[in-house]
Amino acid sequence: MSEPIQTERVCAGAGHDCAFSRAGSSCMDNIRLFADLPADAKRELLACSRHTAHAEGDIIVHEGDPIESIIVVRSGRIKTFRVNSDGEEYVLDVLHDGQALWHGMFTADHVYRYSVECLAPVRLCRIHRADFEALLSNHPDVALGLIRMITTELDEAEERILMLSIRDPRQRLAKYLLARDQRCAGPEIRLKLEDIAASVGLRPETVSRNIARFAREGLIERPGRGRILVVDHEGLRTISRP
């Protein structure tokens, strides 16, 4: 696992530099996993969190590593991916500011089923598994909220599976861009064509050709390399429908 550029211990009430702290609000308010926690529970987690920084291209998790912490993206973008026996990479997801890696934490072996790479300079917040388990014991109501969130994420996973079952590349790509646009932190989708191709199970040249066609049709704009701006959502929805 790559060594972080820097590490800092965070204590509750400390004036730490956090990408989510705005107008006195807690960073926890902007992270779906923690947003509904009671204020005292958020303070408990902040008291035991640890910040790390990583460079673009760093591998911060290898498949098979034990899941020791919840990893929250404070700023930047990371991708989760697997490599098959033929050496072909398959991107599972791309996460950005406010999203967290924690799935598998409560399984018997609690190991990662994927690797994680930084797609840009990244700042992370890590909360140790034992600290989160202690919080669940002290706040049983938190467990109910966690179950609700797992249900939501299972629905999202089902949507991704349905998207991958679409045979028409143009339709599949349109559906992916709409879903990615809804989840991205800013107005633009910031992904290389190779990462989009690996996410949707298409060849890079197929993605490149269809992206270029979407741009010619005025459905998207390409402000720069690795940047896509959806400008006609309804047009893409029309294409994405069976």
Which range has highest mean pLDDT (41-45, 110-114, 137-141)?
110-114
Question: Please, which pLDDT band fits residue 88 given cuts at 50, 70 and 90?
Answer: confident
pLDDT of residue 4: 46
Of 34-43, 115-124, 180-189, the least confident: 34-43
pTM to 2 decimal places:
0.70
Question: Residue 2 above 50 pLDDT?
Answer: no
pLDDT of residue 29: 65
How many whole angstroms separate alpha carbon 217 and alpha carbon 114? Answer: 37
Position 104 scores a pLDDT of 78
Mean pLDDT score across all residues of the chain? 81
Average pLDDT over residues 194-218: 92
Distance of alpha carbon 134 from alpha carbon 92, whole angstroms: 30
Provide the pLDDT for residue 21. Answer: 47
> In which band, very low, low, confident or very high, does the pLDDT at 26 lie, cut at 50, 70 and 90?
low
The pLDDT of residue 78 is 92
For residue 230, the cross-strand partners are 220
SS3 87: coil
For residue 79, pLDDT beyond 80: yes
- Least confidently predicted of 21-25, 106-110, 164-168: 21-25
Burial of 171 (0-12, 13-18, 19+ CB in 10 A): middle
Cα(78)–Cα(117) distance, integer angstroms:
6
Residue 11 clears pLDDT 50, i.e. is over it: no
pLDDT > 90: percent of the chain: 32
Task: Tell me the per-residue pLDDT of 221-232, one tens digit each, with 9 for 90 and over.
Answer: 999 888 999 999
Measured CA angle at 224 (ends 219, 227), to 5 deg? 60
Domains and CATH numbers, the chain: 6-148 (2.60.120.10), 166-240 (1.10.10.10)
Please check the confidence at residue 15 and state whether its pLDDT lies above 70. Answer: no
Question: Which of these, 120, 76, 118, 117, lies nearest to 99 by C-alpha position?
Answer: 76
